Structure 1
Amino acid sequence: MTRVLHVLDHSLPLHSGYTFRTRAILKAQQRLGFEVEGVTGQRHNVETRAAQPDAVEAADGIRFHRTAGLPQGLPLLREWGEVRALEARIVEVAQGFRPDVLHAHSPALCGLAAAQAARRLGIPLVYEIRAFWEDAAVGNLTGREGSAKYRLTRALENRAIARADAVVTICEGLRADLITRGVAPGKLSIMPNGVDLELFGDPPPRDPALAEQLGLGEGPVIGFLGSFYPYEGLDDLVAAMPAIVSALPAARLLLVGGGPAAAAVRAQAAASSAAHAIRFVDRVPHHEVERYYALVDVVCYPRKAMRLTELVTPLKPLEAMAQGKLVAASDVGGHRELIAHDVTGTLFAPDDPQALAAALIDLLGRRDIWPARRETARAFVRKDHDWSSNVARYHRVYQNALGQTPDAAGLSA
């Protein structure tokens, strides 16, 4: 039986795309017979706003070991302190758990702490990159491409990659970029985003009372459920609504979530001539998300065109497909890896509200194709993006890192 200690920035019970992917991986590995636990760095404490001591917390049947304290000090010294604290905690946890492999997940601070701990423990390290965090900062408007901080973050990522025995990315865009940096293709594997169909595979019926409460009418309803970051392009979606409502007066837009761009998007919607057709719901508990998916006919992802969105595949379109929803998305690289135009979804030009409106008006007017489109998309998720089957790919990565001969059975003894 293989024991894997996952090294994480933050985890459940916090809710984010990061923690949901982590949960899906660890639960699927448990079902395959792996023994898994997690250890989080001090930034988990920042998220929870509590400088908790070293502790163990169980969430959804998974044990997470916390690292005491909060990041402190001047830049660089602060990050170095985070790495040292996490390294010490990994080694401490490993003395009891006795992992065969360390599996660190980006950002680079987790990778660097795990690399130092792996060397001390004499076990291999797998480093998983979900996004380049320097590009995520640009997309969130908290960083600038080419700045000193951007270059430093990239350099730390490169160092973590160099020290890992194997590197996993979530998509071909990230893998191709790493190869241009000089990383050997044989060191790289892809573990694509997936959906836990045990959670998302049985959509509930539409709740008429909730629809009435939100004033959605008969629809059709366009929706976005997720984090409101600037790069998500929700300003383009709101800007497209006057044209959509002009063509389809009963159309409504439902925006569920929150984040850094929420205030700006709400203000834009309030000033729009289509304000009467736009509804907002703040973040909802994860177990209630399906109720809101059930209200939506088309889920729209109008991401801006930039390095982040060209390289990284999002999780949300897969969740929407699993829920049996039509998907429309901007034609950026991360979406093209998941969505085949006019097959599993609709793609439209990014950064162009007119193109967005035209695509949605066309899709909403072709109800005859909806059932086949939905079933084709759900079949695609079941075949290529179900965690219960995809997570088995990690076994080969672990075997290679351990210097074992890969077997066909899936698990080592």
Structure 2
Amino acid sequence: MNVTGLRVALFSGNYNYVRDGANQALNRFVGYLLRQGAAVRVYSPTTDTPAFEPAGDLVSAPSFPVPGRKEYRVSYCMSGHVRRDLKSFRPNLVHVSSPDPLGHRAVSWARRHGLPAVASVHTRFETYPRYYGLAFLESTIESLLRRFYRRCDAIVAPSESMAQLLREQRMSYDVGIWTRGIDREIFHPDRRDLGWRRSLGIADEDPVIGFIGRLVMEKGLDVFSDTIDQLALRQVRHKVLVVGEGPAREWFQNRLPKAIFTGFQQGADLGRAVASMDMLFNPSITETFGNVTLEAMACGLPTVAARATGSESLVSEGVTGRLIRPGAIGAFADALTTYCNDADRRRAAGAAAVAEAERYGWDQVNQALVDTYLRVIRQRSQGATPRSSPVP
């Protein structure tokens, strides 16, 4: 079989109703599949106000809003409508991108029909409880995730550091890589715009520390704020530029009253905002890849990031940026102080980051996942089935 023989049923917890890096990668991948001649059907919760138009055919799955985070939805069952559509579509592979109830039922459906299932891992769900005072739930959530992923023929992670963590957590025997690409037309050092910076009240000589992403607590907003406080105490010259929207925006603005908030940006406007920063500060430990880190690198920015999954695979310590122990406020402040005060080191790290980002092209990235699809289908045709545990 080649790619034109693929009939993929993709199950997503959020395909297009809230914009984030994970669902944009899924939409880009579906577009790639369709251009190669594959057939794809997507099953996901939907809303009347989607963030963007979906790639491919999208079938709505029953869902309810997440308590306390109503912008997100949970699909709670595989409805009769979804089952009938699946029967009519006749997939030969099931792809699940979220370990939600619909994802569990999709894997069960695949197993009942003798079809291979592939899961893509997009975030570290087991780390989320610690940001809401529920850290004691982490081991339970990890166990539930392990049960889910072990029922799949293969799982793919967006970075080698995340893949290694999944192996250590005994999530699967078969852990591959489906990384992320970069749009070089949007993210490029030439997008830097000093006039735009000046319009925001940023002087040319002000070192700009950037934050990019959804404004939610699990992105490490508390660590970011505490670190900026340290820079103020040290009287380090800097400006903070925050690009993004989210439910924690009011909290973040209250913590950083001198920061500049642009709100949500996309396309060329996002490229301009990123390139107009001088460094990225990414203290999050929940990313499995870190799209914003790659975007910043492509724009010529050094990155100061938590030593965690995703960032470890992108940032070369001391070359393209700094990797700091998660939560180490003083060490984060030391690294940012160096880049704020030393323009030569900043430029050298940024140039190295641009060279590193050149390796990430979307077509090559997406073909790697197609190759995984074809491999598991071939293995199933030869009698292979998912193994229940990657350890004795």
Alignment TM-score > 0.5, same fold = yes
The structure with more helix, counted as a fraction of residues: 1
SS of match in other structure, 2:78: helix
Q: For residues 62 and 81 of structure 1, what CA distance do their matches in structure 2 show?
A: 20
Matched, 1:175 2:152: no
Matched, 1:379 2:383: no
Matched, 1:253 2:245: no
Conserved? CA contact 1:71–1:82, under 8 Å: no
Q: CA deviation at 1:363?
A: 1.8
Q: CA deviation at 1:61?
A: 4.2
Pair 59,195 (structure 1): closer, same or farther in 2 beyond 3 Å: same
Consecutive unaligned residues of structure 1, counting only runs of 5 or more, are 51-56, 73-78, 407-413
Pair 69,359 (structure 1): closer, same or farther in 2 beyond 3 Å: closer
Q: CA deviation at 1:225?
A: 1.3
Q: CA deviation at 1:215?
A: 0.8
Residue of structure 1 equivalent to 2:386 = none
Q: For residues 380 and 114 of structure 2, what CA distance do their matches in structure 1 show?
A: 19
Conserved? CA contact 2:11–2:97, under 8 Å: yes
Pair 245,28 (structure 1): closer, same or farther in 2 beyond 3 Å: farther
Q: For residues 246 and 58 of structure 1, what CA distance do their matches in structure 2 show?
A: 42
Pair 61,231 (structure 1): closer, same or farther in 2 beyond 3 Å: closer
Q: For residues 58 and 66 of structure 1, what CA distance do their matches in structure 2 show?
A: 15
Conserved? CA contact 2:181–2:365, under 8 Å: no
Pair 233,33 (structure 1): closer, same or farther in 2 beyond 3 Å: same
Match of 2:109 among 117, 125, 139: 117
Matched, 1:82 2:87: no
* Per-residue Cα deviation, 1:377-411 (whole angstroms, up to 9, x for no partner): 2232222x3322122222332123212599xxxxx
Matched, 1:365 2:341: yes
SS of match in other structure, 1:389: helix
Q: For residues 101 and 17 of structure 1, what CA distance do their matches in structure 2 show?
A: 24
Matched, 1:396 2:371: yes
Aligned length: 371
Conserved? CA contact 2:63–2:75, under 8 Å: no
Pair 232,81 (structure 1): closer, same or farther in 2 beyond 3 Å: closer
Residue of structure 1 equivalent to 2:61 = 67
Q: CA deviation at 1:17?
A: 2.4
Indicate the larger mover: 214-223 or 198-207: 198-207
Residue of structure 1 equivalent to 2:69 = none
Match of 2:299 among 295, 317, 323: 323
Letter in 2 for 1:3: R
Conserved? CA contact 1:105–1:127, under 8 Å: yes
Q: For residues 333 and 273 of structure 2, what CA distance do their matches in structure 1 show?
A: 22
Conserved? CA contact 2:44–2:75, under 8 Å: no
Consecutive unaligned residues of structure 2, counting only runs of 5 or more, are 67-72, 382-392
Pair 289,58 (structure 1): closer, same or farther in 2 beyond 3 Å: closer
Residue of structure 2 equivalent to 1:93 = 85
Q: CA deviation at 1:105?
A: 0.6
Match of 1:25 among 29, 32, 35: 29
Letter in 2 for 1:25: F
Identity %, equivalent residues = 22
Residue of structure 1 equivalent to 2:135 = 145
Match of 1:293 among 239, 258, 274: 274
Pair 208,334 (structure 1): closer, same or farther in 2 beyond 3 Å: closer
SS of match in other structure, 1:11: coil
Matched, 1:354 2:330: yes
Q: For residues 10 and 370 of structure 2, what CA distance do their matches in structure 1 show?
A: 14
TM normalised by structure 1 equals 0.77
Residue of structure 2 equivalent to 1:214 = 200
Q: CA deviation at 1:260?
A: 4.0
Q: For residues 226 and 169 of structure 2, what CA distance do their matches in structure 1 show?
A: 38
Matched, 1:229 2:216: yes
Conserved? CA contact 1:201–1:323, under 8 Å: yes
Residue of structure 1 equivalent to 2:152 = 164
Conserved? CA contact 2:61–2:78, under 8 Å: no
Letter in 1 for 2:302: L
Following superposition, which runs of at least 4 residues in structure 1 exceed 6 angstroms of deviation? 246-249
Match of 1:197 among 183, 187, 207: 183
Q: For residues 210 and 256 of structure 1, what CA distance do their matches in structure 2 show?
A: 14
Letter in 2 for 1:344: T
* Per-residue Cα deviation, 1:11-33 (whole angstroms, up to 9, x for no partner): 12531222222123223334444
Indicate the larger mover: 360-369 or 27-36: 27-36
Conserved? CA contact 1:224–1:301, under 8 Å: yes
Q: CA deviation at 1:298?
A: 0.8
Q: For residues 80 and 363 of structure 1, what CA distance do their matches in structure 2 show?
A: 42
